């Protein structure tokens, strides 16, 4: 009886299941990439990494320099808005761990020619560090420049580099669009510029919060509690972690899907190698009879699937990334926004190499159990199998 080498047999069986392994490996990198992308999207939209602490000013916007009541009816009066700003700035400067801060103003206005109200976000100083991801262009500089989101470009038919005159009531201002920011805002147009630029369009625009960046190693919650205690109960000092919990649910689902796909790939290899090893157990007995050691048996079985696993990984990585680069922009367009390069290109070269080797790791892991069984099988039992 001719003896068919076990390595050749297992290798042919591995080729039979290579389609399943490769397709699973294509899906796994896409899921892994999507998990990293959603984490970056969460950080970009919440700005929690760039500005982990926010201080809200109790004075109502549009009441600059006036005395505002703390509530309806008689009650203690709030200091002027200018005095509140001075108090916040003094507290932030005196607090250890403060890296930088900037005053932010928020309002929305009706603009001639646009169907939706436009959100205005004005800063009183350099705010390029506040965590807005740039899709194209650059952060605004100068009194005539502004950054806008995709919805604004879509509604106005403009592009980065164009000038556009924004008219609201009797006020108007001409801005040069310096960049496109990643801020879906539910499909509503956004304009981000300096406080002085937007005040010409909306005289009632006034600071309503301070965004704070912390030095590395500073605990955000402890910092917020300390600053809040210094400012008093009129001021709200919060850690910036207010994004929707739906992101965490989606990330959890994608991570679970990745683990399941990895398990399916490993079980596919395990099933194939088990069947073929048991089918050729007599050949295994012959090899053992002529002096094959248990370690050599394990190496033979594992090596028979290692090549297929490596090839599957090398094919799956570019395929998975291609799927990701197709799916994510489609998801962004459904949310009426483009996506920045930072959420598409989430891997370093060395990480791609590790992902490619993961196909080899899955194949080896799936083959270890039947390889161990083959190594433990007694020669006499194997020879009596047929």
pLDDT digits 0-9 by tens, 99-116: 999 999 999 999 998 988
> Do 64 and 148 belong together in one domain?
yes
Q: How many domains does the chain have?
A: 2
- Cβ burial of 186 (10 Å; 0-12, 13-18, 19+) is exposed
Q: What is the pLDDT of residue 136?
A: 94
First to last CA, the chain: 11
CA–CA gap between residue 125 and residue 6 (Å, rounded): 72
**275-293 pLDDT per residue, tens:** 777 777 767 777 777 787 8
Task: Give residue 199's domain range.
Answer: 50-239
Q: Do 161 and 210 belong together in one domain?
A: yes
pLDDT at residue 242, rounded to an integer: 53
- The first and second tokens of residue 276, run together, are 């073929």
Task: Verify that 119 and 30 share a domain, yes or no.
Answer: no
Q: Does residue 86 sit in the same domain as residue 234? A: yes
- Can you give the pLDDT at residue 249? 78
On whether the CB atoms of residues 52 and 129 are closer than 8 A, the answer is no
Q: Could you tell me if 42 and 50 are in contact, meaning their C-beta atoms sit under 8 angstroms apart? A: no
Q: Are residues 178 and 287 in the same domain?
A: no
Q: Are residues 208 and 69 in the same domain?
A: yes
Kindly state the helix (H) or strand (E) to which residue 190 belongs, with its residue range.
strand 190-194
Is 365 found in the same domain as 266? yes
From 83-87, 187-191, 255-259, the region with the lowest mean pLDDT: 255-259
Boundary residue ending a domain (193, 216, 239) = 239
Over residues 21-62, the pLDDT tens digits come to: 445 544 555 566 767 777 778 778 888 889 999 999 886 454
Antiparallel, parallel or unpaired: β 190-194 and 118-123: parallel
The answer as to whether 317 is a domain residue is: yes
Q: Domain for residue 81, yes or no?
A: yes
**Where does the pLDDT of residue 9 fall: very low under 50, low under 70, confident under 90, or very high at 90 and above?**
very low
199 and 308 housed in the same domain: no
The pTM is what? 0.71
**Domain boundary residue, one of 194, 221, 239:** 239
The kind and range of the H/E element at 209 are: strand 207-214
Are 136 and 37 part of one and the same domain?
no
Mean pLDDT of 146-154: 95
- Rounded Cα distance between 146 and 130, Å, is 15
376 lies in some domain: yes
What are the φ/ψ torsions at residue 209 (nearest 5 degrees)? Answer: -160, 160
In a domain, 109, yes or no: yes
Query: Is there a single domain that holds both residue 257 and residue 130?
Result: no
Lowest mean pLDDT segment, chosen from 90-94, 101-105, 217-221, 346-350: 346-350
Q: Is 122 part of a structural domain of the chain?
A: yes
**Do 272 and 182 belong together in one domain?**
no
Q: Which of 211, 239, 267 is the last residue of a domain?
A: 239
The number of beta carbons lying within 10 Å of the beta carbon of residue 364 is: 18
Look at residue 1 and tell me if it is in a domain.
no
């Amino acid at each position: 009886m001719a003896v068919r080498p076990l390595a050749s047999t297992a290798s042919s069986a591995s080729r039979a299941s290579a389609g399943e392994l490769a397709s699973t490996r294509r899906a796994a990198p896409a899921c892994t990439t999507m998990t990293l992308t959603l984490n970056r999207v969460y950080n970009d939209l919440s700005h929690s990494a760039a500005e982990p602490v926010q201080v809200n000013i109790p004075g109502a916007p549009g009441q600059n320099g006036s005395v505002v009541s703390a509530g309806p009816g008689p009650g203690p009066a709030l200091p002027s808005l200018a005095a509140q700003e001075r108090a916040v700035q003094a507290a932030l400067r005196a607090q250890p761990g403060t890296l930088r801060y900037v005053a932010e103003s928020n309002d929305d206005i009706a603009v001639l020619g646009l169907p939706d109200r436009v959100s205005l976000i004005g800063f009183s100083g350099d705010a390029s560090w506040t965590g807005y991801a740039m899709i194209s262009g650059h952060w605004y500089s100068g009194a005539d420049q502004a950054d806008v989101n995709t919805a604004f470009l879509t509604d106005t038919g403009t592009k980065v580099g164009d000038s556009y005159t924004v008219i609201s009531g009797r006020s108007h201002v001409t801005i040069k669009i310096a960049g496109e920011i990643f801020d879906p805002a539910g499909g509503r147009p956004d304009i981000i510029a300096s406080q002085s630029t937007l005040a010409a369009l909306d005289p009632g625009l006034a600071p309503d919060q301070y965004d704070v960046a912390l030095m590395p190693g500073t605990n955000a919650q402890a910092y917020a509690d300390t600053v809040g205690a210094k400012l008093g109960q009129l001021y709200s000092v919060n850690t910036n972690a207010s994004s929707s919990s739906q992101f965490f649910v989606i990330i959890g689902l994608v991570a679970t899907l990745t683990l399941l796909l990895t398990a399916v790939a490993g079980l596919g290899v395990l099933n194939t190698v088990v069947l073929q090893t048991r089918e050729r157990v007599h050949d295994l007995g012959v090899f053992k009879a002529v002096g094959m050691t248990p370690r050599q048996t394990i190496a033979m079985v594992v090596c028979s699937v290692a090549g297929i696993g490596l090839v599957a990984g090398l094919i799956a990585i570019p395929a998975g990334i291609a799927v990701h680069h197709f799916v994510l922009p489609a998801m962004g367009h459904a949310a009426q926004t483009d996506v920045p390069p930072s959420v598409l290109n989430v891997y370093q070269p060395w990480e791609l190499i590790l992902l490619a080797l993961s196909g080899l790791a899955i194949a080896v892991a799936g083959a270890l159990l039947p390889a161990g069984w083959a190594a433990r099988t007694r020669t006499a039992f194997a020879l009596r199998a047929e």
